[in-house]
Chains A and B, each alone.
Chain A
Amino acid sequence: MAIVHVPPQMQELTGGLAEVEAEGNSLRRLISNLDTAYPGFKDRLIKDDLVAPGLAISIDNVVTSRGIFAEILEDSVVHIVPAIAGGH
């Protein structure tokens, strides 16, 4: 299963866990499964089928531009980070 690092601002959803495991071969499926286990995940991360404004997803230490269709491997490590942007 993929490992998802939960940033402090989201740990209220995971009961304080900073790291959780989830299945899913795409970011969409991964977040859907996370939302089942920890309700609220999807609302925080996805808006209109896109990664929510201001956020970026790092998969295996590379920030993906593939959005919810990004591939997740069995042993992927996922981080939720701020989007690099010059104003929004």
Chain B
Amino acid sequence: MSENFNHAQIIKDPEDNYKILGTRPVRHDGVDKVTGRAVYANDVQLQGLVEAAILRSPEAHARILSIDTSEAEAHPGVLAVTTSADFPDLGDKVANLGEGPVNLAHLAANCLAKDKVLYKGHAVAAVAAQNVHIAREALDLIKVEYEPLPVITDALEAMKDGAPLLHEGLLTNLVPGGGKAETPSNVSDHHHFKRGDTEAAFEAAHIVVEREFTTQTVHQGYIEPHAATAHWNQDGQLTVWASTQGSFSAREQTSEVLQVPISKVKVIPCEIGGGFGGKIPVYLEPVAAVLSRKCGRPVKIQMTRDGVFEGTGPTPASFMRIKLGVDETGKMTAGEAWLAYDTGAFPGGVIGPGVMCVFSCYDIEHANIDGYDVCVNKPWTKAYRAPGSTHVAYAIESVVDELAEKLEMDPIDLRLLNAAREGTKRVDGPVYPRIGLIETLEAAKNHDHYKSPLEGPNRGRGVAAGFWFNIGLKSAATAHVNADGTVTLLEGSTDIGGTRTSISMQLAETLGIAAEDINPKVADTDSVGYTDITGGSRVTFATGLAAVEVGKDIISQMKGRAAKLWECEAADVEFSDGVFSQEDNSISFKELCAKLNTTGGLITARASVDPQGFTNGFGVHICDLEVDVETGKVQILRYTALQDAGKAIHPSYVEGQMQGGSVQGIGWALNEEYLFDEKGHMLNPTMLDYRMPTALDVPMIDTVIIEVPNPSHPFGVRGVGETPIVPPPGAIANAVKNATGIRMTDLPMSPPRVHSAIMENGNGTS
């Protein structure tokens, strides 16, 4: 079957005439990566380096009555022991770090628990020793006295009156702009948006569908565990080597948690083996730093895999009630959403994006949305690729599919009828600029996959759409032009998905030279201008824009040099396609580089940007699958991801993001979940038991890139990386419905859950 697939297709903008953009050069870091020479955080070796281990709580909710570290400190080979007592008192300060505000006391208390442990696996103490084995032995010698407290892991239970409180003084933020509630509860945030008269609109609707959905806690599943090395030098300078999505954010967080001047902290970003949002917060860096200060040696900590699962931030579990009404033609007239996401141990989760995304694909006149972030005794949830959007897309796309069925309409036609477009006003207010959902839906409808028949028993096809924002934030870049015509490019964005190359290509296009003539380096926080995190689908857009500005600066400076050669004014020098010219004179970029030393020296250029013109990304996915009705196992047969990607700078990386995001979404849909016992203990904190998709579980993912340019970027770049995880659970649920006749309203649709549903509904076969 697969030989008939056109795995990668690009629907280009007809105006596109780029030389470099849209080609597929070999990635600049490819050789280091495939030969194992790339340096990851756990590869760092320094003179006198010692290793550390973390003691984690065996209780999911307990008061810490005492911690006795004396025996551990006396253990041979132990160099330092630390607890939260070594952190400064941070009060209730909130700092804007990376992708959003962070309560510093919570950030510090998540690195090392203070007064209470709030989830099983919560870090309590750390030991630095001559090697990690001694450090682990010493952990057993730390005596922690706990007073167990009632454990609550379900958001709906935690919202009830009388539920045990994780934070006794927590008052709900009424968002946006509503101040705070007056009575403490586990609800950290209540978001509310309303437009029109939903009650009357539902009353007048031709068909109304209302359903409830749940999703479970899911981890980002990056293959590289968190690791950090810190060296607190005698001169007070702290250097940190980290696996992080943002070296500047890691620097700010470490500086704030330890209350040391930011100028005293340097973060060196190592190569990163995946992050997906989970490597924005710090967990180890402040702990390694304190241990280093105590023992006067560089200290390295690498998390164990169970430490990663139990001690870092997954995406929340959720409960969602969605109600949608349409008129006789299928036009959506009313929508209502009630959403509760668990935020884990501390306030502040991803319900904000959830409420903004739930109806974002559609133009609905009357809508009402309530969303709640709820504290429970689970790890503090963090960003995971399009945080908050995948949950609601699963729910809304299931309801849209059910409406299409009741209307006897093609599901893509129903989406096309209601799709958001330029000028559509979102329920939370803003109006869309130029977006490409319509084009993406049309491409899906015209795709060979959608037009091909699907035959055989227990097989079904599903489609779903998805939305995610792009963000801008700040980026900087510096370039040195070399005499041989190459350019060394320093930038501050950790390269997770090939951004060295996608940024270099934008500079190469600007300069009219080959991508291979750019030599990109990801620099540390002392060596390049401030750059925000690698996240929010922003790096190719924003850091790419910085590279374009650098290119313009280089051209401007080099026009001056050409003018010197030709004894004319710089303003009279033209530049096009890598060639400088003035009347009958012309010289190529490379030729002029060879003359830089004799016309004033080599050139350095720099740029710092804070772009405002970021936009939105939409995806549509088509899935064919077969359900084994004997076991409940779902086998994906064919999968196509289509996305409005703006200009695909390096199509292979765009396709890779679309395929990788799809596979992660398939994992959410079919298998991945944290399993907890009644004590709040995670039962499956290993890659063996936490079932992520492997290459054997999925077919080749077909991709279609629809290049609807972003008018706010000189090359039309949109963010790409996050949208692809959003549609899969909805597309798969809709396909399961078509295969079995059963609407699956709880994720994951794992074999036991699907099998139970089949048994409850009779042996559903199609």
- Name A residues whose Cβ lies closer than 8 Å to a Cβ of B: 5, 7-10, 43-45, 47, 50, 52-55, 58, 61-66, 77, 79-88
Contact = CB atoms under 8 A, between A and B. Distances in A.
A87 B348 contact: yes
B382 A87 contact: yes
Interface centre among A7, A52, A54, A65 (most CB of B within 10 A): A54
A61 B433 contact: yes
Contacts of A81: 176, 356, 428-430
Contacts of A10: 176-178
6 contacts: A9-B179, A44-B178, A81-B429, A82-B352, A84-B100, A85-B383
Given A55-B175, A61-B431, A86 B387 contact: yes
A79 B382 contact: no
Nearest to A44: B177
Interface centre among B356, B428, B429 (most CB of A within 10 A): B429
A88 B194 contact: no
Contacts of B179: 9, 43-44
Given A82-B191, A82-B352, A86-B313, 12 more contacts: A5-B429, A7-B429, A9-B192, A10-B176, A43-B179, A53-B96, A63-B430, A66-B610, A81-B176, A81-B356, A81-B428, A84-B352
B101 A85 contact: yes
B352 A54 contact: yes
Contacts of B471: 63, 84
A50 B610 contact: no
Contacts of A58: 429-430
A86 B350 CA distance: 5
Nearest to B472: A65
B729 interface: no
Contacts of B384: 86
Interface in B70-100: 94, 96, 99-100
A86 B100 contact: yes
Interface residues of B, number: 56
B101 A45 contact: no
A85 B348 contact: yes
Contact of B101 (A61, A80, A83): A83
Contact of A82 (B277, B343, B353, B474): B353
A86 B280 contact: yes
A79 B610 CA distance: 20
A88 B101 CA distance: 5
Interface string B322-356: 00000000000000000000010011111011011
A67 to B, nearest CB: 9
Contacts of A83: 100-101, 352
A37 B570 CA distance: 54
Contacts of A55: 175-177
B28 to A, nearest CB: 28
B177 A45 contact: yes
Given A44-B178, A79-B428, A82-B356, A88 B612 contact: no
Contacts of B189: 54
B530 interface: no
A7 to B, nearest CB: 5
A87 B429 contact: no
A7 B352 CA distance: 14
A53 B536 contact: no
A49 B348 CA distance: 21
Nearest to A70: B612
A80 B431 CA distance: 13
Contact of B382 (A47, A82, A86): A86
B174 interface: yes
B363 to A, nearest CB: 15
B185 interface: no
Contacts of B377: none
Contact of A88 (B348, B353, B428, B432): B348
A61 B422 CA distance: 11
B280 A65 contact: no
A67 B317 CA distance: 32
Given A7-B192, A80-B176, A82-B352, A88 B430 contact: no
B96 to A, nearest CB: 7
Nearest to B387: A86
Nearest to B611: A65
Interface in B192-213: 192-194
Contacts of A45: 177
Contacts of A65: 472-474, 610, 612
A8 B192 contact: yes
A63 B430 CA distance: 9
B281 interface: yes
Contacts of A86: 99-100, 277, 280, 313, 350, 382-384, 387, 535
B428 A8 contact: no
A66 B176 CA distance: 19
B177 A62 contact: no
Contacts of B346: 87
A85 B100 contact: yes
A79 B428 CA distance: 8
Contacts of B175: 9, 54-55, 82
* 7 closest Cβ pairs, A-B complex: A86-B383, A85-B100, A9-B178, A82-B352, A53-B101, A79-B429, A88-B348
A83 B349 CA distance: 11
Interface string B511-531: 000000000000000000000
Nearest to B613: A62
Contacts of A43: 179
Contacts of B355: 82
A53 B94 contact: yes
B429 A9 contact: no
A52 B189 CA distance: 14
Contacts of A9: 174-179, 192
B99 A54 contact: no
A66 B177 CA distance: 18
Nearest to A43: B179
A62 B353 contact: no
A30 B199 CA distance: 34
Contacts of B102: 87-88
Given A85-B352, A86-B384, A87-B349, A79 B430 contact: yes
B460 to A, nearest CB: 33
B381 interface: yes
A52 B100 CA distance: 11
Contact of B281 (A52, A80, A82, A87): A87
A87 B173 contact: no
Contact of B99 (A7, A47, A85): A85
